[in-house]
Chains A and B, each alone.
Chain A
């Protein structure tokens, strides 16, 4: 399944803007967007693709006044395929600016080749700890977060809600272990149970019984996508909803999985850096554009991808379309764009310093499930790996 989608919008209109000094910018800057469009995580890749393209369309085929061409390819949810696609983009298509990867394991297989080719990678999602600390790189930027901070913010929400005894669960893989470590870092209370589930597990009955037996104040679980849907449903069927409050980080309940769990999510606390109801001009423009074009509620993945396009646009505008890594970097690290999250700046490791919020899922007046922003829990929060990064 190799799909190539070309979004070529460097139309005749660009020619009218021709200026002698901008001859190089006339040939559109090509941006390689490698993302996951197949398998259970396919909806995430679709959101990342659609939001990035939306930003380009809003500018009439340009980013920061520079014509761009977005080349979208599916990584098939396989690290090997992600690597192959990246190599082809770098070698055959001469692409020097890439983005789009959803999953950490695929990024881990793909990023080294990109950096070795002296190309730039701007991450709209996957940002594992190894690229934030000692192995940080001047050509790697994360627009999303550093992975740990997703769960640190959930720990902060649980602490601020006054919970003392937590039962925590995550799948037994790197991201799951990082999640529990991140939660514990901020929570500071007692952990009455810590269980690792399997990545191919679909039935959580045993865990539900264990939670009921431990009778904690709060449950924190990290189960992204379909795992989270199954976990939440079974949590409700086990009669635990309403008995034991639950706090999750953004990946365990996004606006797509919310639709699939239905009323079960009522009363759930979520920590996030963005929500659909953020009241700033950039977010209003994004929400209106996305819902109008795609007729669905964007997930936070879409917001991150849209921000990625805006960040690239701000840099391209300053360099007038030059993507030589050192010139691009000087412009990029200023983060001179209006993020849909509000406050955004880069830390020393080129990962975000941003605010985190407590959100709550509940029913709207019309009976629809929605996620409503409650309050800010962390201000200008960076990540713990930044000090280890020497750029």
Chain B
């Protein structure tokens, strides 16, 4: 049982890392530019598609990564230049409408260009299979790779935000946008860079998700809601909050799905009824968590703006 618990914690960590890659970009865009970007999931989808097309064309997963990153970054920069720029001074409702329009546009475009059939992308042979982490407990090498890559990226982002001039501007922008502008910083360029960075991270998440999930139209919307939960729990505009929030949400969601059924089965006589109830409770779990965090700290756990 304890081995199973360790395994499920690792599973939760892996889901958390995936969510972090998406939430990091979303929280920066939301926190610094004040833009609600529903099309963030589309960037994840573009990354996944570009990655799997490159992988099947070249037969190499190593080439899929730069292809997915490049496609997502270019798409992100194009979106920012053509659409998002017009929305900085508009209210959130306009942003939601415009970016939702982008979601529909991307979904239909992918249908037209690539087709409606889901794509296949295999796990790279070097990373397929499982390793024995503890005696009697095996874990998928690929999932472990995702965890490591995600944590490395988190460390890299931390260094970027805390140790570089660009990071300082990003932090300043998240705290007080008008002051940064008043000091003569080219805020437009900063916004474009931040948006590109967010797109890059979403694209990377998409490439990594390819071999695990189904690469198909609409895959971005599935994970976007969960990503918004992470952003709200962690606190808008904070990378540290995004990491912490993502890990907590990933763990809560996975552990509830893993252990709630047995718990509820112990309490109720009818197993079928128990399973229904635990399924309902498990899927509510992260939203209940969000509500609790919001009641306790309305700004999220690590708000960027004090």
> Quick one: given A200-B222, A202-B222, A237-B128, are A195 and B118 in contact (CB under 8 Å)?
no
Interface string of B103-141 (1 = CB under 8 A from A): 010011001000111111011000011100000001010
Which of B216, B278, B280: most chain A CB closer than 10 A? B216
B-chain residues with CB within 8 Å of residue A256 when the two chains form the complex: 117-118
> Quick one: given A39-B218, A229-B118, are A206 and B257 in contact (CB under 8 Å)?
yes
C-alpha spacing A299/B280, complex, angstroms: 33
**Residue in B117, B143, B217, B226 whose beta carbon sits within 8 Å of that of A260 in the complex:** B117
Q: Does B263 contact A (CB under 8 A)?
A: no
Asked if A257 contacts B276 (CB within 8 A), the reply is no
List which A40-68 residues lie within 8 A (CB) of chain B: 40, 42-43, 46
Q: Does B166 contact A (CB under 8 A)?
A: no
**Residue in A213, A225, A238, A239 whose beta carbon sits within 8 Å of that of B214 in the complex:** A225
> Quick one: given A42-B116, A196-B275, are A1 and B108 in contact (CB under 8 Å)?
yes
Q: Give 13 pairs: A residue, B residue, CB < 8 Å, sorted on A.
A: A1-B104, A43-B116, A202-B212, A202-B219, A203-B15, A205-B11, A205-B15, A205-B143, A226-B213, A226-B219, A228-B214, A237-B123, A237-B142
Distance from A235 Cβ to chain B, minimum over Cβ atoms (Å):
11
List which A243-292 residues lie within 8 A (CB) of chain B: 256-257, 259-262
Asked if A239 contacts B7 (CB within 8 A), the reply is no
Asked if A260 contacts B4 (CB within 8 A), the reply is no
Q: Does A233 contact B (CB under 8 A)?
A: yes
Q: Does A179 contact B (CB under 8 A)?
A: no
Q: Does A117 contact B (CB under 8 A)?
A: no
Residues of B within 8 A of A (CB): 4, 7-8, 11-12, 14-15, 18, 104, 107-108, 111, 115-120, 122-123, 128-130, 138, 140, 142-143, 209, 211-219, 222-223, 225-226, 254-255, 257-258, 261, 271-272, 275-276, 278-280, 282-283
Asked if B258 contacts A209 (CB within 8 A), the reply is yes
C-alpha spacing A200/B129, complex, angstroms: 26
> Quick one: given A172-B280, A200-B222, A227-B214, are A210 and B275 in contact (CB under 8 Å)?
no
> Quick one: given A225-B214, A226-B213, A257-B118, are A237 and B140 in contact (CB under 8 Å)?
yes
B-chain residues with CB within 8 Å of residue A207 when the two chains form the complex: 257
For B261, the closest partner residue in chain A by CB is A195
Asked if B108 contacts A38 (CB within 8 A), the reply is yes
Distance from B19 Cβ to chain A, minimum over Cβ atoms (Å):
10
C-alpha spacing A226/B219, complex, angstroms: 9
- The 4 A-B residue pairs with the shortest CB-CB distance, nearest first, are A196-B279, A226-B214, A205-B11, A229-B214
Asked if A209 contacts B7 (CB within 8 A), the reply is yes
Interface string of A186-216 (1 = CB under 8 A from B): 0000010111111010110111011001000
B-chain residues with CB within 8 Å of residue A257 when the two chains form the complex: 118
A-chain residues with CB within 8 Å of residue B279 when the two chains form the complex: 172, 195-198
C-alpha spacing A43/B110, complex, angstroms: 13
Asked if B120 contacts A260 (CB within 8 A), the reply is yes
B-chain residues with CB within 8 Å of residue A40 when the two chains form the complex: 118, 214, 216-219
Distance from A273 Cβ to chain B, minimum over Cβ atoms (Å):
23
**Residue in B104, B123, B283 whose beta carbon sits within 8 Å of that of A172 in the complex:** B283
Contacts A40-B218, A206-B255, A257-B118 known; list 5 others, CB within 8 Å: A39-B217, A46-B116, A194-B271, A200-B222, A260-B215
Distance from B38 Cβ to chain A, minimum over Cβ atoms (Å):
15
A-chain residues with CB within 8 Å of residue B117 when the two chains form the complex: 43, 256, 259-260, 296
C-alpha spacing A229/B216, complex, angstroms: 10
Asked if B223 contacts A202 (CB within 8 A), the reply is yes
B-chain residues with CB within 8 Å of residue A203 when the two chains form the complex: 11, 14-15, 18, 212-213, 254
A-chain residues with CB within 8 Å of residue B255 when the two chains form the complex: 206
C-alpha spacing A198/B283, complex, angstroms: 7
Q: Does A234 contact B (CB under 8 A)?
A: yes
Asked if B120 contacts A262 (CB within 8 A), the reply is yes
**Residue in A210, A226, A228, A229 whose beta carbon sits within 8 Å of that of B258 in the complex:** A210
Distance from B257 Cβ to chain A, minimum over Cβ atoms (Å):
4
Distance from A11 Cβ to chain B, minimum over Cβ atoms (Å):
30
